[in-house]
Amino acid sequence: MLYSKHVLFPAAQTEATKTVAHFHINKGWVYRAWLIFPPGCAGLVKVRIEHKGHPIIPVNKSDYVKADNYTFELPMFYEVQTTPYQITFEGWNEDDTYNHEITLMLLVLPKEFIFPVGAVEGIMESLSNLIIRTGEE
């Protein structure tokens, strides 16, 4: 599933007055993320992606991502397996004049798409049982 959210960051924010948006997603693996900063942001909009209060992008809680007229395409390998199935997107806009809208897109895939081996786990278990039975005879 591909999820997309456009989040408006009002002018003159600080980390204390940050904007917080939530992605409600399906259980699965966040496989790829795109952060789209349009022209004009001038590095003044700072964002983070978190899951249950733990930073995902960037990995340090005290860091953030900022850019101008740039799309970050971020390969990921992050499992969301317990409720709430939710990713948090937060940030603030230090531009004292203009609001800015940042887009976050997430590609969330089920385990079977990420781990081809997962699709054959049952086959491997059956083979294992067959070998054990054969050894008993």
Per-residue DSSP letters for 55-104?
EEESSSTT--B--SSEEEEEEEEEEE-SSS-EEEEEEEE--SS--EEEEE
Is the pTM higher than 0.85? The answer reads no
pLDDT of residue 87: 95
CATH entry, 2-112, from 3.30.70.141, 3.40.980.10, 2.60.120.380, 1.20.1510.10: 2.60.120.380
pLDDT of residue 51: 93
pLDDT of residue 10: 98
Give the DSSP letter of residue 81: -
pLDDT of residue 72: 97
Specify which residues 19 forms β-bridges with: 91
